[in-house]
């Protein structure tokens, strides 16, 4: 099989897109031949970075004034009309999931969004994805080529792009933009009304507000939660320090907040914050239903509690039955040492 990767180089998320798709390709496309990576970008400044992090040896750069799906689709449609690529792979972000089905439509292929696993069968691509609001995993057979799929976020581990100094990167470029980005009215090369111009004639005015780095407990990726079992304010203060050392945000359960051992805006649970971190460590939390709802959406829950029978133990992914203070002190030490050695990217 021959596959092509499509990435959005206009976005600051480029590197994570590249690593996400690279990880997926490494897991499921070992026998497939990578044709190229198509990267849309807005400024020449980023070119070396984009080329260096292109997941394939061959890279097609397309410069345009800004990320605009209608222009990108028009460009891809023309560029790939006669290509014999069988599979277009898009990352699982907003851009990837809007481009893949529309490109499939235009190229007469088939598409699927949020795919978490693929395998090749004769004349078809077997794709797996979650359906029924993530309660069921479905298998689909895609039969019309080219297959245009976008990935499910987090379905495979991201894989950094290998640096191969001896391999010459094959780069080709198309430039359809006239000016640097940040202009309201898009401007393209050529005197006549160009194709891209027609594609975005509906836009009268444009403004982009960059996303501020998400902060606070709601958006934290890593949280440490103190429960009733910590018993006093000084211990909560200490956990605050430990959270800082671990690189986590501190949250607390209702009894802790209602004892004013921590401010109410740290409260996790029904009457407070509904957190959705990648990692949630709970310390001396028993796991009452009203609290657990607040951490239910965590990817990984690690419970530390002296009571093996506490409800939180059954509701966690990993549990340590021990004194939370001793365990966390050890953990901080391990992580600090690891940081000194430089073997984590914390």
Partner 1 sequence: MNILTCFKIVSDLDLMSESDWVVEDHFRINTSFVKNMINPYDESALEITLLYKEQAEKLGSAVNLSALTIGSKQLDAYLKTLYALRFDKAVRIENQHDLRFSPDAISTVIANYVKVIKKPEVIILGRQSGVGDNAKTPLLVAEHLGWPCISQAVKIEPASEGLLKVSSMADDGLVIETIRPPCVLSIGNAPNSYLRIPTLKDKVNYGKKEIEVLEIENYLNQAVLEQPSEGHNITGLKPINHKRQGVVIEGSTPAEKAQNLYHNYLQERLKQL
Partner 2 sequence: MSTTSKTQIVETLISILGKERVITDEEVLKESSVDRFRRFEEIHGYFTQPLPVAVVYLRNKNEVAAVLKFANEHNINLVARTGDSATEGGLETAVENSIVADGSEMNKIIKIDPYNMQATCECGTSLQDLEDELREQGYTTGHSPQSKPLAQMGGLVATRSIGQFSTLYGGIEDMVVGLEAVFPTGEITKIKDVPRRAAGPDIRHVIIGNEGALCYITEVTVKIFKYRPENNYLLGYTLNNMKTGFEILREVMAEGYKPSIARLYDVEDGASHFSHFAEDKCVLILMAEGPKPLADATGKAMEKIVAKYVECEKVDPRLIQVWFDNLNWDVSKVAEERTEIMETKNISNTTEISATWDRIYDIYKTCVERIRNEMPDMTLVGGHSSHSYLNGTNMYFVYNYNVVDCNPKQEITKYHLPIKKIIVEETIKAGGSMCHHHGVGKHRTRWIQEEYGSSYYILETLKKAFDPKGIMNKGTIFPGE
Residue ranges that bind partner 2, judged by CB under 8 A: 228, 232-233, 255, 257-260, 263-264, 269-271, 274, 288-290, 292-294, 296, 311
For the chain, the C-alpha Rg in angstroms (whole number) is 24
Q: Which does 181 bind (CB under 5 to 8 A by kind): partner 2, partner 1, none?
A: none
Sign of the Cα torsion 124, 129, 132, 137 reads positive
Residues 25-64 that bind partner 1 (CB under 8 A): none
Nearer to partner 1, 144 or 173 (CB): 144
Euclidean distance between CA atoms 240 and 251, whole angstroms: 9
Element (H, E) at 250: strand 249-252
The Cα–Cα gap between 327 and 199 comes to: 59
Nearer to partner 2, 293 or 306 (CB): 293
Q: Say which entry of partner 1, partner 2, none residue 57 contacts (CB below 5 to 8 A, set by partner kind).
A: none
**From 2, 13, 240, 255, residue interacting with partner 1 (rule: CB under 8 A):** 13
User: What is the signed CA dihedral for 182, 184, 188, 194, rounded to 10 degrees?
Assistant: 150
Cα separation, 14 vs 322, in Å, equals: 42
Compose the 299-328 pattern: x for residues touching partner 1 by CB under 8 A, - for all others.
-xxx-----x----xxxxxxxxxxx--xxx
Task: Fill in the per-residue mask, 265 to 284: x = in contact with partner 1 (CB under 8 A), - = not in contact.
Answer: -------------xx-----
Measured from the CB atom, the residue of 177 and 285 that comes closer to partner 2 is 285
Check residue 221 for interaction with partner 1 (CB under 8 A): yes
In whole angstroms, how close is the CB of 268 to partner 2 at the nearest point?
Answer: 11
CA gap 104, 112 in Å, rounded:
9
Contacts (CB under 8 A) with partner 1, residues 131-160:
131-144, 157-158
Size of the site for partner 1 (CB under 8 A): 89
Q: Between residues 293 and 333, which has the closer beta carbon with respect to partner 2?
A: 293
Neighbours of 137 (CB within 10 A): 12
Tokens standing for residue 194: 């160009």
Residues 191-220 that bind partner 1 (CB under 8 A): 199-211
Sole binder of partner 1 in the list 98, 173, 195, 237 (CB under 8 A): 98
Residues contacting residue 126 through CB under 8 Å, at least 6 positions apart: 118, 119, 120, 139, 140, 141, 142
């Amino acid at each position: 099989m021959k596959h092509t990767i499509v990435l959005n180089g206009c976005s600051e998320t480029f590197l994570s897109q590249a690593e996400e798709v690279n990880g997926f390709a490494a897991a499921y496309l070992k026998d497939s031949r990578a044709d190229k990576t198509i990267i849309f970008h807005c400024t020449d400044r980023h070119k070396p970075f984009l080329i260096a992090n292109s997941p394939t040896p061959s890279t097609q750069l397309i410069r345009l004034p800004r990320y605009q799906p209608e222009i990108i689709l028009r460009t891809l449609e023309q560029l790939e009309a006669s290509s014999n690529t069988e599979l277009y792979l898009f990352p699982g972000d907003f851009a990837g999931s809007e481009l893949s089905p529309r490109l499939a439509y235009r190229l007469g292929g088939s598409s699927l969004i949020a795919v978490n696993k693929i395998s090749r069968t004769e004349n078809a691509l077997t794709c797996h994805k979650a359906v029924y609001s993530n309660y069921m995993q479905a298998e689909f057979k895609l039969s019309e080529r080219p297959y245009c799929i976008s990935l499910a976020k987090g379905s495979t581990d991201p894989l950094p792009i290998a640096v191969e100094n001896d391999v010459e990167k094959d780069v080709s470029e198309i430039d359809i933009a006239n000016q640097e980005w940040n202009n309201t009215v898009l401007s393209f090369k050529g005197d006549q009304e160009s194709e891209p111009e027609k594609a975005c004639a509906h836009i009268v005015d444009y403004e982009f507000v960059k996303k501020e780095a998400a902060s606070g407990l709601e958006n934290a990726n890593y949280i440490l939660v103190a429960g009733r079992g910590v018993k006093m304010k000084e211990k909560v203060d200490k956990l605050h320090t430990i959270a800082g050392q671990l690189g986590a945000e501190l949250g607390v359960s209702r009894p802790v907040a209602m004892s004013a051992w921590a401010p109410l805006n740290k409260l996790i649970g029904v009457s407070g914050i509904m957190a959705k971190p990648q990692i949630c460590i709970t310390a001396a939390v028993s796991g009452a239903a009203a609290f657990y709802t607040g951490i239910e959406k965590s990817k990984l829950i690690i419970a530390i509690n002296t009571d093996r029978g506490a409800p939180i133990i059954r509701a966690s992914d990993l549990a340590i039955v021990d004194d939370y203070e001793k365990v966390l002190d050890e953990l901080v030490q391990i992580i600090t040492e690891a940081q000194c050695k430089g073997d984590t990217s914390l």
